[in-house]
């Protein structure tokens, strides 16, 4: 027996499937999977700082974006927001964390090469006192 589908049902299903794929490969989802995998080996204080940094400084700007769509220039603009408020060390740490998330995404087949390598030297240097 052949199932009869309305012509309107097929495009809606395709759109729904695309949205599901988009959400599954978003920076937020993959970063949380990375965090869940590696955070048990970290001290509680470190874990909370990293998650807070991602939730406060990164997710609002690129959290819903697909990993494959995030360019180095877009990530740099997010990091510059952190830098602009004078939190230079936080910007560098956020860059490191984003790089770890991207490398995890590449290893699990959810993203192309890590764009954070292209950002070396783009942020202000930390002053050592």
Tell me how far the alpha carbon of residue 121 is from its chain's centroid.
20
Under 8 Å between Cβ of 101 and 36: no
The pair of three-digit structure tokens given for residue 28, joined into one six-digit string: 């937020």
What domains, with CATH codes, occur in the chain?
43-129 (1.10.150.130)
Please compute the mean of the pLDDT values over residues 42-57 and round it to a whole number: 97
Reported confidence tier of residue 110, pLDDT bands at 50, 70, 90: confident
Q: What is the pLDDT of residue 15?
A: 46
pTM: 0.75
> pLDDT over 70 for what percent of the chain?
71
Please compute the mean of the pLDDT values over residues 89-117 and round it to a whole number: 88
Tell me the DSSP string of 53-101: HIIIIIHHHHTTSBGGG--HHHHHHHHHHHHHTT-HHHHHHHHHHHHHH
């Amino acid at each position: 027996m052949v199932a009869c589908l309305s012509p309107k049902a097929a495009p809606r299903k395709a759109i729904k499937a695309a949205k599901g794929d988009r959400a599954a490969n978003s920076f937020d989802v993959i970063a949380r999977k990375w965090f869940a995998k590696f955070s048990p080996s970290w001290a509680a204080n470190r874990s909370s700082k990293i998650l807070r940094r991602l939730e406060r400084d990164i997710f609002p700007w690129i959290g819903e974006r697909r990993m494959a769509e995030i360019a180095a220039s877009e990530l740099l603009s997010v990091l510059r927001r952190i830098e602009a408020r004078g939190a230079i060390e936080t910007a560098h740490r956020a860059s490191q964390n984003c790089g770890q998330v991207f490398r995890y995404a590449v290893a699990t087949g959810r993203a192309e090469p890590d764009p954070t390598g292209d950002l070396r030297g783009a942020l202000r240097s930390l002053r050592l006192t």
